[in-house]
Structure 1
Amino acid sequence: MSNIVDPLVGQIAARVRTERERRHWTLAQLADASGVSRAMINRIERGESNPTAVILGRLSAAFRLSVSSLLALAEGTAGEGEQGGDSGVPGNDEDREDAGRVRRLADATQWRDPATGYRRRQITRPHFPAEIAEIRLPAGARVPYPAAAFAFIRQVVWVLDGRLTFHEGDTVHELDAGDTLELGEPTPCVFANTGTTECRYAVILTRSEG
């Protein structure tokens, strides 16, 4: 079974601070761009608060990153699979290449939203052309994202198990296991599980030409 990792809080803290400093933004500038309070951002960067999925969505949108990218970078996966120099993996070059490309379920980590219990596992690493994540949404959970979170990506939602109620602006899509939805123009969206059992779905996205 994969691990639900609270220690990711420290890694998220470092990544948010790094992304802010790369843009030469102050805390106040990031607060203005994201709609997240300066005090909350400060607590996140100090590792004193585990951000909710809603807050991560707002911060990611401000950075023009997807939530998948932000979490994957926070997990430190950006450098995995790069085989320059001695990797420290025993065996021949082919063995080392496979070790860099194969990710075992037993070694996988998940980020858990402290507000809803929503769990997210990154499937692909940051440098893969498409971003794929697996999400487990508990019964009764509801996770909204601002339109800005979808302004620079093309995304498909694929329901694997259970039932997902997806609000795309004023349009509501009821999606059952096996159903897919290609998102349209950027608009506020809500992922909701109105059922009595967990919903498991995947999001597949690429950056748009714009």
Structure 2
Amino acid sequence: MRQDAELLDTRLDTRLGTRLAELRAERGWSLGDLAERSGISRSTLSRAERAEISPTASTLNRLCAVYGRTMSRLLSEVEADDEPVPLLRAADQPVWADRASGFVRRSVSPPHPGLRGELVEGRLAAGADIAYDRPPVPGLEQHIWVLEGALEVTAGETAHRLETGDCLRLRVWGPTRFRCAGDAETRYALAVVLP
């Protein structure tokens, strides 16, 4: 079973790398152009496009900001079939993991043409701390509902501590940070609505 999961991760990394290369080519950018726009080194970009590495959540967020996409939209472009289905069974919901940071992301309700919202389940391992230097789309609306554990969300200069059952609503214009604020894993639902 573990080998199957690793094989699926490898396939997803390969499709993600291909899609990142396509997005760059569509704009006629060199790796240097993209490095300048994203603040990510050319070597890291090259290795991600060739699927030699799996990008971290922070790296993907920077690329999404450059390409004007949410992370869910980018991942749905490499995970989804040609036609989105209205009902996604739990077993069919795409899962992506940033193994380096201890972040697991389940796309419960992935982006869909004609809809502005999506629903994500996030899991942060104890001690996990993810910082995003900018939103993928300025003014992105987020509703963060903690299902289990404790979560600290910092938006700009303001830190919010959320306990089980708490919900934080905000529009994201600048840097954000998600930190597991307890001794155990934190699980939360994130509703994302495009402006």
Structures share fold, TM-score greater than 0.5: yes
- Which residue of the partner structure matches residue 83 of structure 2? 80
Alignment partner of 2:136: what SS?
Answer: helix
Cα distance in 2 for residues equivalent to 1:55 and 1:180: 26
> In 1, Cα distance between the equivalents of 2:172 and 2:47?
33
Alignment of 1:132-147 (within 5 A): 132-147=119-134
User: What is aligned with 1:91?
Assistant: none
Max Rg structure: 1
In structure 2, list runs of 5 or more residues that go unmatched.
none
Does residue 57 of structure 2 align to residue 53 of structure 1?
yes
Matched residue of 1:144: which SS? strand
Given the alignment, which residue of 86, 92, 96 partners 1:111? Answer: 96
Equivalent in 106, 109, 121 of residue 124 of structure 1:
109
| 2:24 matches 1:20 | yes
- Alignment map for 1:1-210 (pairs within 5 Å): 5-7=8-10, 8-77=12-81, 79-81=82-84, 100-127=85-112, 128-208=115-195
**Matched residues, number:** 187
- Backbone CA RMSD of aligned residues: 1.7
* Contact 1:73 1:126 survives alignment (8 Å): no
Alignment identity in percent?
37
Give the 4+ runs in structure 1 shifted more than 6 A.
Answer: none
1:76–1:18 CA distance, 2 compared to 1 (3 A): farther
Give the conservation status (yes or no) of the 8 Å contact 1:69–1:131: no
Structure 1 regions of 5+ residues with no counterpart? 82-99
